[in-house]
């Protein structure tokens, strides 16, 4: 993969195939064989753990194509930042996608002030995206934008790769009713 733009285009093309139910026919055993010695994922996707949002499926990708980091509410924690740094700086991934989705239970739970166990480690991060009167859709988008900014601003490793035009961070919202991902190329 030679550029972040190419990586993002591959994901967009894969999502269109998914939406149109034209997924590529894959030989998974062949993909296992091809990746058993080394992996070269072209993108890293930070998405929610929601069972309806599997990045490999919604972007029509095979084994070894993407790093998939899944965490409730697609929040960016220090562990997520470290994982993304590894994906880009050590393994050569070119694109980072922070992927939210419609109907997010983590966002809804935060709005409803659900609190138990370790859940506040997630909901406290999402709470920062709230403003009075915002709809769940607005908060989902703000949460994606906050994730993009956190990756860019809190990691000197990623910032250096961005400055050299080696990687790009984009956001996306996956619509659980249509399957379509709407990309956000900027976090401004």
pLDDT beyond 80 at 179: yes
- Alpha carbon separation from 81 to 44, 108, 157 (Å, rounded): 11, 24, 10
Q: Are 58 and 174 in contact (CB under 8 A)?
A: yes
Residue range 56-96, pLDDT digits in tens: 999 999 999 999 999 999 999 999 999 999 999 999 999 99
- For residue 44, the number of C-alpha atoms closer than 13 Å in the C-beta half-sphere is 26
> Closest Cα partner for 72 from 110, 26, 117?
110
Chain mean position to CA 133: 26
- Amino acid 11: pLDDT: 98
- Amino acid 171: pLDDT: 98
Select from 3.30.1360.170, 1.10.260.40, 1.10.12.10, 3.40.1050.10 the CATH code of 4-21+39-184.
3.40.1050.10
pLDDT beyond 80 at 133: yes
Residue range 14-41, pLDDT digits in tens: 999 999 999 988 888 898 898 899 888 9
Sketch the domain layout of the chain as residue ranges. Answer: 4-21+39-184
- Amino acid 131: pLDDT: 83
Q: Give residue 187's pLDDT band: very low, low, confident or very high (50, 70, 90).
A: low
- Amino acid 1: pLDDT: 59
């Amino acid at each position: 993969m030679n550029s972040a733009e190419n990586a993002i285009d591959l994901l967009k093309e894969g999502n269109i195939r998914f939406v149109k139910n034209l997924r590529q026919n894959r030989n998974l055993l062949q993909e296992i064989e091809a990746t058993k010695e080394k992996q070269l994922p072209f993108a890293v996707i930070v998405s929610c753990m929601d069972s309806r949002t599997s990045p490999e499926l919604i972007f029509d990708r095979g084994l070894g194509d993407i790093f998939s980091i899944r965490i409730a509410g697609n929040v960016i924690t220090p562990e997520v930042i470290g994982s993304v740094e590894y994906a880009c700086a050590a393994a050569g991934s070119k694109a980072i996608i922070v992927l939210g989705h419609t109907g997010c239970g983590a966002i809804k739970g935060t709005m409803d002030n659900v609190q138990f166990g370790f859940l506040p480690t997630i909901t406290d991060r999402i709470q920062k995206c709230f403003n009075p009167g915002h709809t769940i859709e607005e908060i989902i988008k703000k949460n994606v934008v906050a994730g993009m900014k956190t990756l860019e601003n809190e990691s000197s490793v990623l910032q250096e790769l961005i400055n050299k035009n080696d990687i790009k961070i984009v956001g996306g919202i996956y619509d659980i009713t249509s399957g379509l991902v709407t990309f956000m190329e900027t976090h401004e």
